[in-house]
Structure 1
Amino acid sequence: MKKYLFRRILQIIPVLFIITFAVFFLIHVAGDPVAMMLPSDATDSDRLILRTALGLDRPFIEQYGIFLSNLARGNLGRSFRYREEALGIVFERLPATLELASFSMLLAVFIAIPFGIWSAKARNSSMDLLITGVSVLGRAMPSFWLGIMLILFFAVKNPLFPVSGRGGMEHIILPGFTLAFGIAAQITPLVRSSLLEILQQDYIRTARSKGLAEKVVVYKHAFRNALIPVVSIMAVQIPGLIGGALITETVFSWPGLGQLVIQAIYGLDMAIVQASVLVIALVTIFFSLLADVLYCIIDPRIQHR
């Protein structure tokens, strides 16, 4: 297991290299940040001076080489807009995004697992069809549209929850459910299909033949093994969860990385975009490693080599 984790950690380096290069290239070809920073009546001389001061007059490869050199020292540059270290600004916003993402994932699990088990136990019934239909609807429904509908019904017409901002539990309910609904729609049918497959195994038939109650068979013997593919899909959902959080944060004015990244993209603030993508990539890789560890905890027969 230790050798496997060590190899996975080594694999992070080329992955981050590819990510940084892709983001740096896309920002480079997106436009000239100097045009965004100076007023429309600025002279060509003013633009040249600022471009030289920011190092944007150098060739692309040289700019990227300087970026990698600074990255090795933990310096991701200064924000054009905030005039501060980009990494510090990202870390200020990161807790809000992690709070929203964590709440959404927990809520999705608490929704998906009971309904997935219920759907499996009531196979081919009207309730099974209803749960399956809602899951299909949840996968097809855009999160930003769901967020707008929740704001309309639960904040405008019926002022039960705040429409924006970050504060107490009441502020996170609507954005959290917006993210959780789509994730739960992905996990629920997986729980159902995985549990149905496990319930056909010989050891489950043996447990039933011993006269054990159906609840004991399902929750004690079948459920744990059915969790393995669920953990897999949860790890896969982390990038989508972070990406969905960026959009949802914009809809609900949640002060996390979402608003910061969107504003940085519009303003061509390269340092903020690069720092945000790098941090999000590291968070995603961390949860992927955590999923591998959870595999071994759930099923000790799994051995990573």
Structure 2
Amino acid sequence: MLRYAMKRFVLAIAVAFTVSIGAFLALHLATDPARAIAGEDAEAQVVQQIRVEYGLDRPLPAQYGEWLTDLAQGDFGDSYYWHQSVAHLIIEAAPTTLRLAGFALLITILVSIPLGALAAINANTWIDRAALSVAVSAQAIPSFWLGLVMIVVFAVELHWFPVSGGGSWAHFVLPAFVLGMRSVPAVMRLTRAGLIEVYESDYIRTARAKGFRGRKLLTGQALRNALLPVVSVLAVQLGHKLGGSIIIESVFSMRGLGRLALDSILGGDIPTVQMLVFLFALTFVFLTFLSDLINAWIDPRLRLR
């Protein structure tokens, strides 16, 4: 297990390094940071002065080396837009997004896995078709529209939950539900397909011959092997929730990383956008590495690869 973990860790480090280069080059080649600081109407002389002052006139490899060195020392740079350290902005906004993503993932698991198991047990019946209909509906409804409907019904009309903000757990119920439902179709269909395949395997027939039925057969024999691909998908979905919560945070007026990314893009704040892109990508790398370890723990055969 240790050898497998080290191989995956080295691969994760290589991917993270590649991502750092991509995040740096994409923003510096797509826009002019000096122009973003000075403003669109600034004179060329002012732009050039800012370029020299911030060291933006140096070759890109030299700028990347300095950025990577500062990053290794925990220095994320300073925001051009808010005139604060990027680390402070991220630390201030991260708790909201982490709570939102965690609650959303919990909703995804509680809805999709039981629904997928129910559909697999009753494959090709009206129950299976009803479960698939729920999944298709959840995928077809736009997140911003569902969020607005939830606000009108449960916040404005029924007064069950707050309209916006993130001060208490009640503020996260509606946005977490909307964000979590976006992942239900993929996880539900994968759980259903995995269980149907597992139920047709030889060891399940042997288990049935030994008297395993119902929940005992599902949880004790079938579900563990069927969840191997689901773990990987859940890791990716958690990454999507962390990095793709811009719409939800905007609809519910939550000050998280998604809203920070949106404001930074609109404000031309290159250091903040650059660091957020890198952190979001790094999150995907880490979650993929973690899912590989969990899958190797569930299925020892993976450790031989």
- Fold conserved (TM > 0.5)? yes
CA distance in 1 between counterparts of 2:291 and 2:279 reads: 19
Residues 91-110 of structure 1 aligned to structure 2 (within 5 Å):
91-110=91-110
CA apart distance, 1:132: 0.5
What residue number does 1:207 align with?
207
Report the Cα offset of residue 98 of structure 1.
1.4
Displacement after TM superposition at 1:36 (Å): 4.7
> Structure 1 residues 162 and 9, CA, compared in 2 at 3 Å: closer, same or farther?
same
Displacement after TM superposition at 1:186 (Å): 1.1
- Structure 2 distance, partners of 1:216, 1:106, is 24
Change (3 A) 1:122 1:70: same
The answer (yes or no) to whether the contact 2:239–2:287 under 8 Å persists in 1 is no
- 5+ residue gaps, structure 2, are none
Q: How far does the alpha carbon of each residue in 1:187-233 deviate from its partner, in whole angstroms, 9 at most, with x for none?
A: 11111111111112222222222334322222222122221121122
Greater shift after overlay, 99-108 or 215-224?
Answer: 215-224
Match of 2:230 in 1: 230
| Residue identity opposite 2:70 in structure 1 | N
The answer to whether the 8 Å contact 1:90/1:275 transfers is no
Q: Distance in 1 between matches of 2:267 and 2:30?
A: 10
Per the TM alignment, residue 44 of structure 1 is displaced from its structure 2 partner at its CA by 4.7
Identical-pair percentage: 39
Q: Deviations over 1:55-80 (max 9, x none)?
A: 22334343333323333433231111
Aligned to 2:182: 182
- Quick one: distance in 2 between partners of 1:58 and 1:192? 55
- Which shifted more, 40-49 or 67-76? 40-49
SS at match of 1:215: helix
Q: Which is worse superposed, 287-296 or 142-151?
A: 142-151
C-alpha deviations, 1:249-282, integer Å up to 9, x for none? 2222222101111111112212111221222223
Deviates more, 1:155-164 or 1:272-281: 155-164
| Deviation at residue 45 of structure 1 after TM alignment | 4.3
**Number of corresponding residues:** 305
Counterpart Cα distance in 2 of 1:288 and 1:219: 25
One-letter amino acid of the counterpart of residue 17, structure 2: F
The amino acid that maps onto 1:219 is T
Query: Is the 8 Å Cα contact of residues 23 and 274 (structure 1) preserved in structure 2?
Result: yes
* Cα-to-partner distance string for 1:84-140 (whole Å, 9 max, x where unaligned): 321232122222211111111111101111111111122222221111122122233
For residue 270 of structure 2, what is the aligned residue in structure 1? Answer: 270
The amino acid that maps onto 2:233 is: I
Q: Aligned equivalents of 1:34 and 1:231: distance in 2?
A: 43
Instruction: Give the TM-score normalised by the residue count of structure 2.
Output: 0.89
> 2: CA distance between counterparts of 1:52 and 1:132?
59
The DSSP-based 3-state class of the residue aligned with 2:164 is: coil
Further displaced range: 70-79 or 130-139: 70-79
Aligned pairs for 1:104-123 (under 5 A) are 104-123=104-123
Q: Which runs of 5+ in 1 are unaligned?
A: none
State how 1:1-305 maps to structure 2 within 5 Å.
1-38=1-38, 44-305=44-305
CA contact (8 A) 1:27 1:268 kept: no
Q: Which amino acid aligns with 2:206?
A: T
CA gap 1:140/1:38 in 2 versus in 1, 3 angstroms: same
Q: Give the alignment's TM-score, normalised by structure 1.
A: 0.89
Change (3 A) 1:211 1:83: same
Change (3 A) 1:216 1:49: same
Q: Which moved more, 1:152-161 or 1:105-114?
A: 152-161
